[in-house]
């Protein structure tokens, strides 16, 4: 069978600390996990079933691939190269924050190649008909978020309110997720709390449609699947989520 005509981008699933910042970092392992879209590589990567899968290697606490290059501290501590995590924890030890030269090195080695891979893939002809930027979200909006303190749905799909993908296709993907995961109608929201970040905004309808997908972390980073002592998740749960996600994609492209 031919692969599904989709580009899957997983920009926040990386776990690696870049060698360029070793000795500078002040984050604990739980801090790093809480700031990342942990385990999304294993959830969203459907391998050869998709035309293209792009997975970040470096953790987003160090290089955030879903930010604009100009979005940097001190104007935004949660920018492309971060000063603090989304929970306000300093990424670097006092006095060890990256200077302009190190920031440029991080962008050159990790940020720009990922975006070049996206650009190359979407310009490669008709084998790709849709871009999916894949993320996870906390069960309740953190202090930094516009929905701070509010419970979140199990899934959120975003198309920048119609700018990056036709609304009917977004609604169809929502229906496919509801069917595959056995969800009630309110289990999938559209454009709230997330309408789509930098990747969706930049590549949407240039030339293919893009949508952003957010999965609630309570589907796997919670009892009975998550072990907080060693920060692991039951692999069978991750496999189940991966299979259900693939099933939703298959239903979307092969109604």
Mean pLDDT of 172-189: 98
Q: What is the pLDDT of residues 69-104, one digit of tens each?
A: 999 888 888 899 999 998 889 999 999 999 999 999
Q: Report residue 167's pLDDT band, with 50, 70 and 90 as the boundaries.
A: very high
Q: Which strands sit side by side in the sheet containing 210-216, from one edge to the other?
A: 50-55, 4-10, 130-137, 210-216, 155-158, 188-190
Q: What is the pLDDT of residue 44?
A: 99
Nearest to 106 by CA among 75, 54, 61, 74: 61
Q: What is the pLDDT of residue 143?
A: 82
Q: Is the per-residue pLDDT at 127 higher than 90?
A: no
Q: What is the pLDDT of residue 188?
A: 98
Cα 53 versus chain centre, distance: 13
Mean pLDDT of 219-245: 98
Domains within the chain, CATH numbers bracketed? 4-253 (3.40.630.40)
Q: What is the pLDDT of residue 182?
A: 98
Q: Report residue 1's pLDDT band, with 50, 70 and 90 as the boundaries.
A: confident
Beta-bridged to residue 135, according to DSSP, are 214
SS in 3 state form for the chain?
Answer: CCCEEEEEEECCCCCECCHHHCCCECCCHHHHHHHCCCCHHHHHCCHHHEEEEEECCECCCCCCCCCCCCCCCCCCCCCCCCCECCCCCECECCCCCCCHHHHHHHHHHHHHHHHHHHHHHHCCCCCCCEEEEEEEECCEECCCCCCECCECCCEEEECCCCCCCCHHHHHHHHHHHHHHHCCCHHHEEECCCCCCCHHHHHHCCCCCCEEEEEEEHHHCCCCCCEECCCCEECHHHHHHHHHHHHHHHHHHHCC
- Asked if 30 and 227 count as a contact pair (C-beta separation under 8 A), the reply is no
Q: Is the per-residue pLDDT at 54 higher than 80?
A: yes
Mean pLDDT of the chain: 95
Look at 51-65, 78-92, 163-177, 210-224 and tell me which has the smallest mean pLDDT.
Answer: 78-92
Q: What is the pLDDT of residue 218?
A: 97
* Sign of the dihedral through C-alpha 178, 250, 197, 90: positive
Q: Within 10 A of 148 (CB to CB), how many other CB atoms are there?
A: 11
pTM over 0.75: yes
Q: What is the pLDDT of residue 125?
A: 74
Mean pLDDT of 25-39: 95
Q: Report residue 199's pLDDT band, with 50, 70 and 90 as the boundaries.
A: very high
Nearest to 165 by CA among 211, 134, 129, 126: 211
């Amino acid at each position: 069978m031919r692969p599904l005509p989709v580009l899957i981008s997983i920009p926040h699933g990386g776990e690696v600390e870049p060698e360029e910042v070793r000795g500078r970092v002040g984050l604990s392992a739980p801090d790093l996990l809480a700031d990342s879209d942990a385990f999304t590589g294993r959830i969203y990567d459907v391998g050869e079933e998709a035309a293209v899968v792009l997975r970040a290697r470096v953790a987003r606490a160090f290089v955030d691939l879903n930010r604009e290059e100009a979005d940097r501290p001190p104007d935004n501590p949660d920018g492309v190269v971060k000063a603090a995590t989304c929970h306000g924890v300093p990424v670097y030890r006092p006095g060890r924050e990256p200077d302009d030269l190190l920031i440029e090195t991080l962008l050159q080695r990790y940020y720009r190649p990922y975006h070049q891979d996206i650009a190359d893939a979407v310009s490669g002809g008709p084998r790709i008909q849709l871009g999916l930027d894949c993320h996870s979200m906390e069960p309740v909006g953190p202090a930094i978020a516009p929905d701070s303190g509010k419970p979140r749905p199990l899934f959120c799909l975003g198309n920048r309110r119609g700018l990056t993908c036709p609304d009917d296709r977004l609604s169809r993907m929502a229906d496919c997720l509801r069917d595959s995961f056995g969800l009630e109608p309110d289990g999938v929201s559209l454009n709230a709390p997330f309408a789509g970040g930098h990747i969706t905004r930049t590549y949407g309808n240039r030339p293919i449609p893009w949508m952003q997908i957010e999965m609630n972390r309570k589907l796997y980073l919670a009892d009975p699947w998550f072990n907080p002592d060693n920060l692991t998740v039951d692999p069978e749960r991750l496999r189940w989520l991966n299979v259900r996600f693939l099933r939703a994609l298959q239903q979307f492209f092969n109604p």
